Amino acid sequence: MGTQLLPIDFWFSLASTYTYLSVTRMADVVQRTGAEIRWRPFNVRSIMIEQNNIPFRTKPVKLAYMWRDLERRAALHGVPYAGAPPYPLRDVTLSDRAAMIAAREGWCPTYMPAIYRRWFIGQRDVSDEPDIATALIEVGQDPARVLTMAKMESAEQALVEATDTAKRLGVFGSPTFVAGPEVFWGDDRLEQAIDWSRGSGRY
């Protein structure tokens, strides 16, 4: 299996479609490789707006490519795919704040797949509290507790600070994997980031 030299910071936001692939297959990747993954929620939309980087919503040809590409990659990795879900989501701030709490408390690896399943497989716009609450219940969390915390000013500030940290590291999209000083963007770079973290990719 090799020696894990560096932990990998997994920067993500629910706003990203390709992150569905990463969160869904992450448990298998970790089991197979022994990688140490640190879940890092951030507000990708704020960075994309700041950089005038809105890649799909207003570009129908590119959008069609994205859905087909997701379908192909889902099939490649054995990830369920039920067709194009509602897109874009109206608002992911509350869910990303809930993810901040999940990352801090250690249950993010189960929460993110649950909320993504409601979006991609359930075909629901998961911007609203009832869908977030359902995902929280599914992973054994008290939605009243988590949502109350997620609405606090401290949670808002934590997400802002995480997003600022992501920007300083050179993160501009989700999913992004950071191993030491190296930034790897996209689900298709997950395994490359793991190789690099072990030293086999240092070139």
pLDDT tens-digit map of 68-88: 999 999 999 999 999 999 999
- Residue 143 backbone class (left: φ over 0; alpha: ψ -120 to 50; beta: rest): alpha
Q: What is the structure's pLDDT at 119?
A: 97
Kindly list the structural domains of the chain, giving each domain's residue range(s) and its CATH number in brackets, ordered by start.
8-198 (3.40.30.10)
Q: What is the structure's pLDDT at 65?
A: 94
Of 20, 123, 17, nearest to 67 by C-alpha is: 17
Cut 0.75: pTM above it: yes
The residue type at 17: T
119 and 135 Cβ atoms separated by less than 8 Å? no
Q: What is the structure's pLDDT at 57?
A: 63
Q: What is the structure's pLDDT at 1?
A: 46
126 and 14 Cβ atoms separated by less than 8 Å? yes
DSSP 176-196: EEEETTEEEESGGGHHHHHHH
Residues of the chain with pLDDT under 50: 1-2, 203
Q: What is the structure's pLDDT at 114?
A: 97
